[in-house]
A and B are shown apart, each in its own frame.
Chain A
Amino acid sequence: MEVLDPAVKSVWTIKSILRWCILLPVCATVDFTFFFSDNTTFLPGLWTGLLIVICSVWTLIVPKLRYRFWRYELREEDLFAIRGIWNRVQTIVPLRRIQHLDVAQDLIEGNYDVARLVVHTAGTRSTDVVIPGLPYEEAVRLRDTVRDFVAEHMD
């Protein structure tokens, strides 16, 4: 089975930091109010410190584990993917069920030259099967292979 591009670890790390940063202003504001209060229930800077510690541990561990457990394989008639740290998920998407395909790349992924292959089916739970962290050329190649298969079986 294929593994993802190791560069995806950096992408996930950056995205993880950005997500945690959303909470930073909230924690900083709460801590800031304690500086001007007589309330000594919490140590000054406790919440911001706690956030930084959790964020650091999460960011150091989770992207690596996610990468470690991500595997995919484009087989003759289906796409097979295994992923998940806590919930281990195996999905089989028959290629003949694919409705359309996207190769998506955001700013951070673009910087590392990786992309996502988004596979849409008519199903609900597995409507969008996303294979992240593919080298851009590989994502395009996969898309074209699947597209050719779908076109061939539509005729």
Chain B
Amino acid sequence: MQETSAEFRRLHSLTFVHYVFLAIIGFVLAWTSSPESGIRTGSLLFGVIYMVVMGPISIVKYVRFRYYVTSEELVMHYGVFKRVRRNIPSDRVQNVAIERNFLSRILGTAVVKIETAGTAQAEGVLSFVGVHEANRIRDLLRTAETTHAPDESISASPDFRMRLPRLLLSSAYQFSFGLFAILVGVLQQLEIIGLISIEATLRDVLERNFFGTANTQQYSLVMLTIAFILITLILSWILGFAQYFIRYYNFYIELGPEKIHRKFGLITVREGTLPYKRVQSFLIRSNPLMRLHDWYRMEMQTLGLESGERGFQPAMPFAKWAEIVALGPKIRPFTTPEAYTRVSRRTIRRRCLRYTLFILTPVAALYLWWPVAVWGLTLLPIAWGIAWLQYLCHSWSFHDGNLFIRRRIFSQRLWVVPIERLQAIEINATFFQRHLELCTLRVDTAGAGVLRHPKIIDMRLDDAEKLLTELYDFFQGTASKGDR
């Protein structure tokens, strides 16, 4: 392929509108959150400097960015201070994702992210191009088959689709303490900068609705705190609902001959293809309430996709167990085991000891200055109860070439790890574990998260060594150069 300047294209001319919009949002945020005029002047000054410096850089960046795409490769030339010329052969392209946020949809633009194997982030990003150009790029780079209609059309029969009633129901399950903590932090921050007064607002609400203005003595600070927590819990649930609804709106997944095609999102529409070979393992998540109504979430752990998803791509955000065992094996074959083996019962002893140390140490330290801290010891029976529940909820099974690992009490997880995909196996025994003849077996797969990875905690050492041999023998039997 000869490179000629005539074949090169520039990004969409409305790219600048995105830059300006982002700058305005940043400036407005800085301005409104500045309580003092001094800081406001600083924000204004910073805004002017930003425009003077970044404005010309953005123009040069836009002018320098040129690309062309053929069915064989994507070539990009870019860089302001450092000229970069990047060639991405189409046979190396693993995924072409098209993202459109709210502004993009108004302007008719899109971001195209080209991902290749072995990179944690997109290797080529074209932000922004026109929608038709984005579809043209995607269709050119897609190898072999193009099974999906371009543009916004949705396949008539996707393998799984979240219809509105299910989306509404699944959004209702989305409560997270993480969001609650963030909300509490944000409200406190807003109070510090003087935008709201939590106590005055709550007093006002209580006076108007419950006690009346004359009976201000009837409620105490404790009641205000409880009211604050309750209101924040409801707010965080509403936020969780909205966040989930916007993210997974119109989710669908379709299994093509070689690739998985997915599309979802309300404000930012994410669309992408994923080769089956890149799926490393499955993570099926649930919680006691969801399990009670037979709802689960299945994610695929993939290699080198966007860091925003931490290597986990939703395959079925909210589905019945029967739907999961029907669709999952089509992506990577697995059959669910009849029975699971629990980890060693000694795990209860080890966990109890661990939690006891965690509780006793701060209680003992606090007791020296604050004798009331002794009440912290009431946490001990709770901690021991949790240790016992953790034992009950943690089990494993090696079945049909897949390692199944169940863990956790509330945020329940079931890992399905195809052993042919393993990268390394590790047996780890801490001092306490060795004392109890226990260990942790870890199975490392490509792109697994440092914190979220499959592991069996507190297996008996001899069981772990036996399982390790069994897994490794199976791996050796199935591994071939095609698996790399």
Known: A123-B448, A124-B447. A91 touches B426 (CB 8 A): yes
Complex contact B428–A122 (CB within 8 A): no
Counting CB contacts under 8 A, is B445 at the interface? Answer: yes
- The residues of A that contact B431 with a CB separation of less than 8 Å are 86-87
Q: Is A154 an interface residue (CB 8 A)?
A: yes
* Residues of chain B with a CB closer than 8 A to A123's CB: 423-424, 444-446, 448
- The minimal Cβ–Cβ distance linking B305 to chain A, given in whole angstroms, is 13
Given contacts A92-B468, A122-B446, A124-B447, contact A97 B426 (CB under 8 A): no
Q: Which residue of A lies closest to B465 (CB)?
A: A90
* Complex-state Cα separation, A125 to B427, whole angstroms: 12
Known: A96-B484, A125-B453. A90 touches B479 (CB 8 A): no
A97 cross-chain contacts in B, Cβ below 8 A: 422-424, 484
In the complex with contacts A125-B450, A125-B453, A93-B424 CB distance below 8 A:
yes
- Is A6 an interface residue when CB atoms closer than 8 A count as contact? no
Q: Does B340 sit within 8 A of A, measured CB to CB?
A: no
Contact assessment for B423 and A88 in the assembled complex, using a CB-CB cutoff below 8 Å: no
Binary A-proximity of B424-444 (CB < 8 A = 1, otherwise 0): 111111110010000000101
By a CB distance below 8 angstroms, the chain B residues around A50 are none
Candidates B426, B429, B434, B484; contact of A154 at CB < 8 Å: B484
B116-156 interface (Cβ within 8 A of A) = 118
Give the size category of B's interface with A. Answer: 20 to 34
Question: Pick the contact of B424 from A84, A88, A126, A153 — CB < 8 Å?
Answer: A126
How many Å lie between the Cα of A153 and that of B479 in the bound state?
11
* Of the residues B426, B430, B444, B445, contact of A86 by C-beta under 8 Å: B430
A78 to chain B, nearest CB (A): 8
B460-483 toward A: CB 8 Å interface, digit per residue (1/0)? 000000001000100110010101
Residue B303 CB within 8 A of the other chain: yes
Rounded to whole Å, the gap between the CB of B341 and the closest CB of chain A is 21
Contacts of B483 in A (CB 8 A): 96
Closest B residue, CB atoms, query A97:
B423
A100 to chain B, nearest CB (A): 10
Given A123-B448, A153-B481, A92–B423 Cβ distance below 8 Å? Answer: no
Known A91-B426, A99-B118; judge A124-B479 contact (CB<8 A). no
Is A4 among interface residues, defined by CB-CB distance under 8 A? no
Candidates B429, B449, B472; contact of A87 at CB < 8 Å:
B429
List chain A residues, Cβ under 8 A from B428.
84, 87-90
The answer, yes or no, to whether A59 is at the interface (CB within 8 Å) is: no
CB distance from A101 to the nearest CB of B (A): 14
* A142 lies within 8 A of chain B by Cβ: no
Bound form: Cα–Cα A111–B421 in Å: 41
Q: Given A87-B428, A94-B476, list of 19 further CB < 8 A pairs? A: A78-B472, A89-B426, A89-B428, A89-B429, A92-B472, A93-B424, A96-B479, A96-B483, A121-B423, A121-B424, A122-B446, A122-B447, A124-B449, A124-B450, A125-B424, A125-B426, A125-B450, A126-B426, A155-B481
| Between-chain CB contacts (< 8 Å), 17 pairs | A84-B428, A87-B431, A88-B429, A89-B429, A91-B424, A92-B472, A94-B479, A97-B422, A121-B424, A121-B444, A123-B424, A123-B444, A124-B447, A124-B448, A124-B450, A125-B426, A125-B453
A-B complex: 5 closest residue pairs judged by Cβ atoms: A123-B423, A123-B444, A122-B446, A126-B424, A90-B427
